[in-house]
Amino acid sequence: MEKDKAYKVLAQQEDISNNKAKELIDKGLVYVGNNKVKIARALINIDTKFRVEEVGEFKVIYEDDDIIAVDKPSFVDSYDIADAIEGATLIHRLDRDTSGVLLLSKNDKFLEKAIVEFKARRVTKRYIAWIEGVFYEETIVDAPIVTSRKGKAVSRIDELRGAKALSTIKPLEIQGKKSKVSIEIATGRTHQIRIHLSHIGYPIVGDELYGSRTKAKRILLHAYQISLLGYSFTSKEPREIYKYK
């Protein structure tokens, strides 16, 4: 059977450029059956049939002279949203797979105030996730995190060199051997929720980097609510978060 690189086969199938095909694979949007295509240059049979997941459009939840609150869909980069909104600057960011509330500032003065609030830990951030295993008791995880940024960012627990990280996890629902939980974070380290849940033995469903053995279209993590400087914004749970199955 003749083979070629995955991105080239995809480009021909979808009638798109090679660069666009690579981008779709790199963003985790391309599947063969239920298996995600992870390596754009991997050799694959030329008659392979791909499935490309559609990316939703972001929606503005609220806007005034200082702030814009956006409902970010999964598979969209936070920086791409900032680029799409003229004059807006990210106040924080969400991982590409993570959906939910994303905040942007419309002026430097408000941005400076927001940064102060984040540093002082006066920002309330609540997330919702589906995790592996049966989780039934509120747990506080106080475990310092260090992040390696060679290539893709990867975090780990490091008691000596890690930065302080605090997460409070509460059970919401149990479905078979999966649990739905609420997470509040007092700090905002890279991949904090993902590594903390993995650290206590409950990786997020679909998060293969941190130990999930369940295949999913995305990492099942949603930024449900954020409050700062008198504002509070909520993002409705998308279908895959609202109900696991």
Catalytic residues: 95
CB atoms within 10 A of CB 209: 17
Q: What Cα–Cα distance (Å) separates residue 231 from each residue in 16, 62, 92, 93, 228?
A: 43, 10, 15, 17, 5
Terminal Cα-to-Cα distance of the chain (whole angstroms): 37
Q: What Cα–Cα distance (Å) separates residue 47 from each residue in 35, 36, 41, 231?
A: 16, 17, 16, 52
User: Pairing relation of β-strands 221-228 and 35-36?
Assistant: unpaired
CB atoms within 10 A of CB 177: 9
CA distance 203 to 209: 9
